[in-house]
Chain A
Amino acid sequence: MPDATGLELLAQEIGKDEPDAVLDTVYFRDRATILVDPGHVKAVMGQLRDRGYRFMASVHGVDYYPDEPRLGVLYELLDMEKVDRLTVKLRVDIDTPEVDSVVEVFPTADFQEREIYDMFGVVFRGHPDLRRILMPEDYEGFPQRRDFPVGGEPVTFTYNQSKIPHYTE
């Protein structure tokens, strides 16, 4: 893991080439996270790839419901030579969920970005084939958002048995 000072140095180096790309660095449970501005994500990814983080393990979306820029996208990078993990995080507002796709830099992000679009509604500009991947293609709504109901059937008990239509109607 890049320790706290290594993380700061890395952030400054990226800051030199890409002015105001790095918004914040977090060092939590000896894991390094860089908060990046959504506009510069492709450039930062390219730089990190040249610095040795050539493998991207995972891309996943998070809905930080109460606090404001609600949708987050996290990229888990891995440097196989130095066995070094780094998380790049960006926060996007829910009304304009637009981010550049990093498929050119890391082709592994193809399916995973489609899943984030399917589950959270974050649109990835420049993605070769941005369609729903897990839900049916004509499904409305983004299920993983916090305000989307878990859904499912109400369980039939004695008291609510008359209100629920018979199970197999």
Chain B
Amino acid sequence: MEVTREPALEFRSRQLRARDMLRGDLEGADLERYVHERVITTTLDRAISWARGNSIMPATFGLACCAIEMMSMVASRADIARFGYEAFRATPRQADLLIISGRISIKMAPIVRRMYDQMLEPKWSIAMGACASSTGVFNNYSVVPADKFMPVDVHVPGCPPRPEALVHGVLRLRSMILGDPKLGWRERYGAQGTEEVVGPVAERGSGPGADAENVFGPGDTAGA
């Protein structure tokens, strides 16, 4: 299974051509093509999304243990300031990224939803940690996953995720905003059809998971 790389323009070759252009060694057709590629073709949307992607201001919204790792992300080792996202705004009026760092109890859910509603447009949200993405360790009466009541763009796994994992999540969000989301592992390695949740028999089509039959009888949770 060969791996699909980015389009042909390798980073190294682009760097060399930029250097030639700066030195003035690039003329004729090469110069035309270079200018055409770099300057003219950026549409207004891509320019705006480039500006938005590089100027995200997260909201200081710490809930539980993940907030401590979020603070470590701002601290000196896994430093988010390298990407310009260290300006944590206290009010939703000035923030456009809501990092839900911690477990959301049913008493806190309407407040998280209200905080998300009162944020600036365009806004994004990251469900940090297992408790915000799914209920994590606490699958009980009092914890609500973030997807239940608000749209979530990036789920960062971990309990708590390492600061580097959160920085990776934020960078994944940035590449989503810039319009070329990084390929998920299924698309990159061509593994569609291995999802463990297969549709009902009627809609399964012919993919590898099509002939999955239920080992346990309905309602039998002995294996879980």
Contact = CB atoms under 8 A, between A and B. Distances in A.
Q: Do chains A and B touch in the complex (CB under 8 A)?
A: yes
B197 A161 contact: yes
A162 B135 CA distance: 20
Contacts, number: 51
Given A143-B142, A152-B139, A159 B216 contact: yes
A70 to B, nearest CB: 20
B117 interface: no
Nearest to A169: B148
Contact of A153 (B139, B214, B215): B139
Contacts of A135: 107, 142
A160 interface: yes
A28 interface: no
Interface in A76-104: none
Contact of B215 (A136, A150, A156, A159): A159
A156 B219 contact: no
B218 to A, nearest CB: 6
User: From DSSP, what is the main secondary structure of chain A's interface residues?
Assistant: loop
Nearest to B201: A162
Interface residues of A, number: 21
Contact of A156 (B141, B197, B216): B197
Interface in A38-97: none
Interface in B5-35: none
B206 interface: no
B207 to A, nearest CB: 14
A143 B217 CA distance: 31
A5 interface: no
Contacts of A155: 139, 224
A149 B141 contact: yes
A40 to B, nearest CB: 35
B177 to A, nearest CB: 21
Nearest to B212: A158
Nearest to A155: B224
Interface of A: 134-136, 143, 148-153, 155-163, 167-168
Interface of B: 106-107, 134-135, 138-143, 145, 147-148, 196-198, 200, 212, 214-220, 224
A-B pairs, 8 with minimum CB distance: A151-B141, A152-B139, A159-B214, A168-B147, A136-B107, A152-B140, A161-B197, A150-B140
Given A151-B141, A152-B139, A158-B198, 7 more contacts: A152-B135, A152-B138, A156-B197, A157-B196, A158-B197, A161-B197, A162-B200
